[in-house]
Amino acid sequence: MLQYGTKIVAGVTPGKGGTEVYGVPVYDTVADAVKEHEADASIIFVPARFAPDAVYEAVDAGIKLIVVITEHIPIIETAKMIKYAKMKGARIIGPNCPGIINPENSLVGILPPRAFRKGKVGIVSRSGTLTYEVSELIKKELGQSTVIGIGGDPIIGTDMVEVVKAFDEDPETEYIVVIGEIGGTMEERVAQLKKKGLIKKKMVGYIAGLTAPREKRMGHAGAVVYMGMGTFESKVKALKEAGIPVANTPYEIKDILLSL
Amino acid sequence: MRLYEYEGKELFKMVGIKVPKGVITSEPIKWEGKAVVKSQLLEGARGKRGLVRVTDDVYNTILELKKLGIQKFLVEEYIPHSKELYLSALIDRDTGDPLIAASPEGGIDIESSTNVKTFRIPLERGVKTYDVIAIEKYLGVKGLEPFIKGLYSLVVDYNAELAEINPLAVLDNGNLVALDSKVILDDNALYLHEDLLKKFNRQEQVESLVELGGDIGIVGNGAGLTMATMDMVKLSGGNPADFYDIGGGAGREKVREALLKVASLPGVTRVFMNIYGGITRCDEVAIGIVNALNELEKQGKKIKVYVRLVGTNEEEGWRILKEHNIPVYQDFKTLLGEALRS
């Protein structure tokens, strides 16, 4: 992140206060850090059992954007911490996400810089590596405006609908790519917005999990179909009915974008 | 983690949900009168497969079922009833609040039911009397409170992702009994319930593997990429044997373990790997693959592995794989084309 130009003003690790890492000062608490520095965002790499505490700490210190990379936080804990953050006016991205990148400007996350070049496609995705794959495929011809991995958990702080709306208003974004997967109803809700004409920009969709069996968790805690909700078929149908072309493979996303 | 029916019913009892009187056994037992013998399996559709039997002869029924390879049985009193309902609790992914799902048609596959209604219970306040009244009115019964509160508690206090009663029997006298249980616990929260795991003699395990029954093993890093990989194999006419996500930042040990596991699945002769290294290092992946293949060779197993590998330290990864004559590609489409033809 430092190499990419992100201005990291401080790190926080209890017990390590007063030390430095790559020239960045480390504090015992977020409160100590924000006393000395102005911080707009926080990124959390803390192990799952302690990650919710780190989120509460950042919220209480007044941080308004919190990116949670950590995977394996219990669902109910995630639900509680997201409710708390919302109540306090803070936005969480994740958990279980690779973060956010504005190519050639800033990176808050673990997305590998090699896949990105400044350009015109906004990508929102529930997956990490699949996002890198698609980004790299469109890097040469199109590039990306901003790429957000919103996370693979069933409950996340910032959903696809919010990101798509933001892309629609973002002057740097010309096309919007939605990379979804089975489980939940976010993709369906995005499709409804498009159908109602509330999203003006051209979109392309892709859904992973065509061959996934029901009630089996496919790696991500959120990639699971319970009670028939959020199947592959329901998502593809919703997107198509909204006039959003759906790619059969990640490779097709580029071809469709170039043909729009 | 999906629980067995009898384990789910143990939890039901703990949260005040009424279940039939029963015993768990692995051997034939004597039983007075009519009973239901229920094979304990994690897969559904036991009824359709004849693995749940109403009988006056418990002893011989268990003997017969044992011949089919069933190892554990729940024997319960037979409960005559006039009506079956559906009731479950899970977390609403959009709001983070628990939902109670209810249907006046129980005992059937809930996916095909058209009259499931959901009731949202905000996490901040929990179940209130007026929630109970609304659900009772919808189902046309009384006495639901302990069932609703129990299911809610399973989600909130026991970290169940899904707690389901299907069917919920309505007796002639109006009493309610949970005849079946389906409880799936949040894998990420199992560390909070070590006492339960101990009681059920179950182990906390990370389920990275989902079996699909085909002949082409699939290993990828990241859930989305791995799913996309198995989908592409299927779309190109191949049959995926599994889904295996090695996760982010996997080292050689994890890769070795994954490949050995997938190679051991019945019918697998080829494994396709799709790796995009971000925090995962390609050289570590390559070493893991080589180590696994060495082991397979020692076991005398012939498995062909095709690897798509790009990202962090890719050149070192390619070098290691080429040194061992393992086909390596930079593009999965090319891999598919060549590997499916061979």
- 3 state DSSP class of A176: strand
pLDDT value at residue A202: 98
pLDDT given at position B333: 94
pLDDT at residue B249 is higher than 90: no
Among B95, B108, B227, pick the best mutation site for testing chain A contact (most A Cβ within 10 A): B227
Measured between CA atoms, the residue of chain B closest to residue A210 is: B231
pLDDT of A256 = 98
pLDDT tens digits, one per residue of B268-297: 999 999 999 989 999 999 999 999 999 999
- Higher pLDDT, residue B153 or A214: B153
Where among A93, A128, A153 does a domain terminate? A93
According to DSSP, the residues that pair with B54 across neighbouring strands are B36
Q: From A114, which residue of chain B is nearest by alpha-carbon distance?
A: B311
Distance from CA of A36 to the nearest CA of B (A): 31
Domains and CATH numbers, chain B: 21-77 (3.30.1490.20), 83-200 (3.30.470.20), 209-341 (3.40.50.261)
CA distances from A218 to A104, A208, A234 (A): 33, 10, 17
| pLDDT score recorded for residue A219 | 86
What domain range includes position A226? 99-259
Mark whether A142 and A164 lie in a shared domain.
Answer: yes
Query: pLDDT at position A13, please?
Result: 96
**Does the pLDDT value for residue B307 go beyond 80?**
yes
A88 vs A59: CA distance, rounded Å? 7
For residue A76, list its beta bridge partners.
Answer: none
pLDDT tens across B213-238, in order? 999 999 999 999 999 999 999 999 99
Q: What is the pLDDT of residue B203?
A: 84
Report in angstroms the alpha-carbon separations of B53 from A220, B35, B94, B145. Answer: 37, 8, 40, 30
What percentage of chain B exceeds 70 in pLDDT? 99
Please count the residues of chain A: 260
Q: What is the pLDDT of residues B202-212, one digit of tens each?
A: 987 766 799 99
Residue B159 has its nearest CB partner, among A74, A125, A127, at A74
Q: Within a domain: residue A2? A: no
How far is Cα A164 from Cα A244, in angstroms, rounded to an integer?
A: 13
Residues A250 and A210 in one domain: yes
Put the strands of the sheet holding A11-12 in their side by side order. A11-12, A24-27, A20-21
SS3 B139: helix
Tokens describing residue A40: 């707009």
Are A132 and A220 in a shared domain?
yes
Residue range B115-127: mean pLDDT, rounded: 96
Q: What percent of chain B has pLDDT over 90?
A: 89
Q: What is the DSSP string of B257-285?
A: HHHHHHHTSTT--EEEEEEEESSS-HHHH
d(CA B129, CA B114): 26
In a domain, A1, yes or no: no
What is the model's pLDDT at position B206? Answer: 66
Give yes or no: residues A36 and A109 share one domain. no
Residue A133 lies in a domain: yes
At which of A93, A114, A139 does a domain end? A93
**Contact call for B159 and A76, based on CB within 8 A:** yes
Size of interface A-B (CB pairs under 8 A): 167
Among residues A126, A194, A220, A235, the one annotated as catalytic is A220
- Based on the number of CB atoms within 10 Å of its own CB, is A25 exposed (0-12), middle (13-18) or buried (19 or more)? middle
pLDDT at A216: 86
DSSP secondary structure letter of residue B240: B
Contacts of residue B322, Cβ cutoff 8 Å, sequence gap at least 6? B328
Query: Can you say whether residue B305 is alpha, beta or left, with left for phi > 0 and alpha for psi between -120 and 50 degrees?
Result: beta
Q: How far is CA B168 from CA B73, B143, B165, B224, in A?
A: 20, 12, 6, 37
At B37, list the tokens.
């013998």
Residues A57 and A146 reside in one and the same domain: no
Query: Do A120 and A189 sit in the same domain of this protein?
Result: yes
Q: What is the pLDDT along chain A (260 residues), one digit of tens a residue?
A: 999 999 999 999 999 999 999 999 999 999 999 999 999 999 999 999 999 999 999 999 999 999 999 999 999 999 999 999 999 999 999 999 999 999 999 999 999 999 999 999 999 999 999 999 999 999 999 999 999 999 999 999 999 999 999 999 999 999 999 999 999 999 999 999 999 999 999 999 999 999 999 888 888 888 888 877 899 999 999 999 999 999 999 999 999 999 99
Q: Which residue is catalytic, options B4, B5, B76, B86?
A: B86
Q: Which of B111, B221, B278 sits opposite A110 (nearest CB)?
A: B278
**CB-CB contact of A183 with A221 (8 Å):** no
The answer to whether residue A3 sits within a structural domain is: no
Q: How many domains does chain A have?
A: 2
Both A86 and A104 in one domain: the answer is no
Please, which residues have CB within 8 angstroms of residue B34's CB and are 6 or more apart in sequence?
B54, B55, B56, B77, B78
Q: Quick one: pLDDT at residue B111?
A: 74
Max intra-chain CA distance, chain B: 76
One domain for residues A166 and A228: yes
Contact B245 A219 (CB under 8 A): yes
Q: Are residues A122 and A222 in the same domain?
A: yes
Which residues have C-beta within 8 Å of that of residue B226, sequence separation ≥ 6? A218, A219, B218, B219, B220, B243, B244, B245, B274
Q: What is the CATH number of the domain that holds A254?
A: 3.40.50.261
Q: Which residues of chain B lie closer than 8 angstroms to A209, CB-CB?
A: 227, 231
Residues A127 and A26 in one domain: no
Q: Is A5 within the bounds of a domain?
A: no
C-alpha B9/C-alpha B246 separation (Å) is 34
- The pLDDT, as a whole number, for residue A227 is 78
- Verify that A160 and A194 share a domain, yes or no: yes
In chain B, the residue whose alpha carbon lies closest to the alpha carbon of A209 is: B227
Q: Averaged over B1-15, what is the pLDDT?
A: 96
Cα separation, B258 vs A188, in Å, equals 34
The question of whether B86 is a catalytic residue gets the answer yes
Tell me the β-bridge partners of A246. Answer: A205
Catalytic residue list contains B164? yes
Residue B168 · residue B86 · CB < 8 Å? yes
Residue of B10, B164, B284, B314 with catalytic role = B164
Which domain CATH number covers A46?
3.40.50.720
Give the domain-ending residue among A93, A117, A140: A93
- Quick one: three-class SS letters along B75-87? EEECCCCCEEEEE
Q: Are residues A208 and A145 in the same domain?
A: yes
Copy the structure tokens of residue B331.
């593009």
Is the CB of A159 inside 8 Å of chain B's CB atoms? yes
Predicted ipTM beyond 0.90: yes
In a domain, A52, yes or no: yes
